[in-house]
Amino acid sequence: MIKLTHAEENYLKAIYQLSEAGKKGVSTNDISAEMKTKPASVSDMLRKLGEKEVIEYRKYYGVHITEEGKKFALRTIRKQRLWEVFLVEKLRFAWDEVAEVADELEHVQSTILIQRLDEYLGFPKFDPHGDPIPDEYGDVRSRPRLPINEIDINGTGQIVAVKDSSAAFLRYLDKVGAYIGARIKVLEKVEFDGSIEILVDNKKTIFMSKDVAANILVMV
Amino acid sequence: MIKLTHAEENYLKAIYQLSEAGKKGVSTNDISAEMKTKPASVSDMLRKLGEKEVIEYRKYYGVHITEEGKKFALRTIRKQRLWEVFLVEKLRFAWDEVAEVADELEHVQSTILIQRLDEYLGFPKFDPHGDPIPDEYGDVRSRPRLPINEIDINGTGQIVAVKDSSAAFLRYLDKVGAYIGARIKVLEKVEFDGSIEILVDNKKTIFMSKDVAANILVMV
DNA sequence: TTAGTGATTTAGGTATATCTAAATAAATAT
DNA sequence: ATATTTATTTAGATATACCTAAATCACTAA
Ligand SMILES: [Mn+2]
Ligand SMILES: [Mn+2]
Ligand SMILES: [Mn+2]
Ligand SMILES: [Mn+2]
């Protein structure tokens, strides 16, 4: 049976998520940026992950995650997101405060711990950022969702997730009053810079840049 | 500010607990046995802990923990015991199943996490094995307690802790029906081998060896 | 089609945490 | 008081996970 270290789990999760985002092979530099380590360290790690056959690694041509690798990555992601739910729902963490702690908790090794946590939380399907929680077999049920900037004028929907989970972005959303579950309607799209005005819960209007809008995901 | 690695935290906790048990300096071999590492590895670690001034280390003469070291050890112990309470109270772990998992969870770095966990658990004062949980300043309020074999015939009391927290011992206690909180009365002490018969909750009698009795702590 | 640039890997180094085997200090027994 | 035993440390290795600097590969632009 393959065993992964904490560092290997972190890299593999990053590789999985980068490959989901981009579809094609993931580059050393992308991983380096995501992991905040130097490209040289990434090359080292890719060799090791290749040997463990959780990625397919061709020098100079980026990596692809294997089926086996996906299973490991999804297991880590499941743990991360369950712990995020725990921190928010049970320990009253804000959604911008969970990243660091969940990034440690996700490495605790215990199958029963995760099963029990899942049960204790009521088998949540989504984490505090709207991201789907894989089940124990690695199945992810993802909802169809669109960034706000791709919604037509007068189109309506419900905020279901954020693409960027950085503390800075999340705190900004808190400040302007955008949150998961909010019902929105697109009131105006400025041709010039793509900025957008939305109505939240039929009460409040929010102006946002195209950049912000692109990071808020809505179910129509 | 001193930073300790996971391994250093584990060693320091072991050293603290061994020195509490024995009072005098702790030997390399004792630590080696407790940590399940070789004496050579312990020597290495002692040098490092000495440099960080959490222990006082004189080669060949064992170690003493410093005041600074005690603070760190008690912080780790606090975290371990709070997580043990969480696992038992919230996730329905048995008291013999928590050791391994809590031994990982105790290393998660987040002051707020522990404060919130403490609050969430209702500020418990004792862990599932009856051991006191230090407060956030490292103060431990320990109850006076005696091993059953030191109680006189017809003496009564309440089981408040176990000295040995190994899964084997705890499962044995489950089997014979001894548990934290049980009210007991010493019915007989066999002169020959020190074995003891007790009455539990005025209902059930249990025979136990002196060895077992010595590991069950009672408040009189 | 080749020179140059940027991406990537390799080489060599540090720090942590372990090990085995050898050396040495301390404790014990004769 | 010395020899033997036991405890402990040191020496030298391995494995992980990083780093910087140098080398090398791949792609692109002339
Ligand atoms: Mn992580
Ligand atoms: Mn999340
Ligand atoms: Mn531990
Ligand atoms: Mn305990």
Q: Where are the domains of chain A?
A: 6-65, 146-219
The 3-state secondary structure of chain B, one letter per residue: CCCCCHHHHHHHHHHHHHHHHHCCCECHHHHHHHHCCCHHHHHHHHHHHHHCCCEEECCCCCEEECHHHHHHHHHHHHHHHHHHHHHHHHCCCCCCCCHHHHHHHCCCCCHHHHHHHHHHCCCCCECCCCCECCCCCCCCCCCCCEEHHHCCCCCEEEEEEECCCCHHHHHHHHHHCCCCCCEEEEEEECCCCCCEEEEECCCEEEEECHHHHHCEEEEC
Residue A139 is predicted with a pLDDT of 96
Residue B109 is predicted with a pLDDT of 95
Token output for A177: 């009053």
Average pLDDT over every residue of B87-96? 98
Q: Are the Cβ atoms of B101 and A110 closer than 8 angstroms?
A: yes
Q: Is the CB of B5 under 7 A from strand D?
A: no
Class of domain B6-65: mainly alpha
Reported as a pLDDT band with limits 50, 70 and 90, residue A178 is: very high
Say how far apart CA A104 and CA A55 lie, in whole Å.
23
* Angle between helix B39-51 and B6-22 (nearest 10): 100
Average pLDDT over every residue of B55-65? 96
**What's the whole-number average pLDDT of chain B?**
96
Counting residues of chain B whose pLDDT is more than 70, the rounded percentage is 100
Residue A172 is predicted with a pLDDT of 97
Nearest CA in chain B to A108: B104
Residue A50 is predicted with a pLDDT of 97
Reported as a pLDDT band with limits 50, 70 and 90, residue B162 is: very high
Give the minimum alpha-carbon distance from A120 to chain B in angstroms, rounded to a whole number: 7
Average pLDDT over every residue of A43-52? 97
Say how far apart CA B112 and CA B115 lie, in whole Å.
5
A106, A9 contact by CB (below 8 A): yes
Nearest ligand to the C-alpha atom of residue A14:
1
Say how far apart CA A110 and CA A86 lie, in whole Å.
16
Predicted TM-score of the model (pTM):
0.94
For chain A, say whether B92 makes contact (Cβ under 8 Å).
yes
Q: Is the CB of A17 under 7 A from strand C?
A: no
Counting residues of chain A whose pLDDT is more than 70, the rounded percentage is 100
For chain A, say whether B102 makes contact (Cβ under 8 Å).
no
For domain B146-219, the question of CATH label 2.30.30.90 is answered with yes
- What's the CA–C1' distance between A198 and D6, in Å? 79
> B23 pLDDT exceeds 80?
no
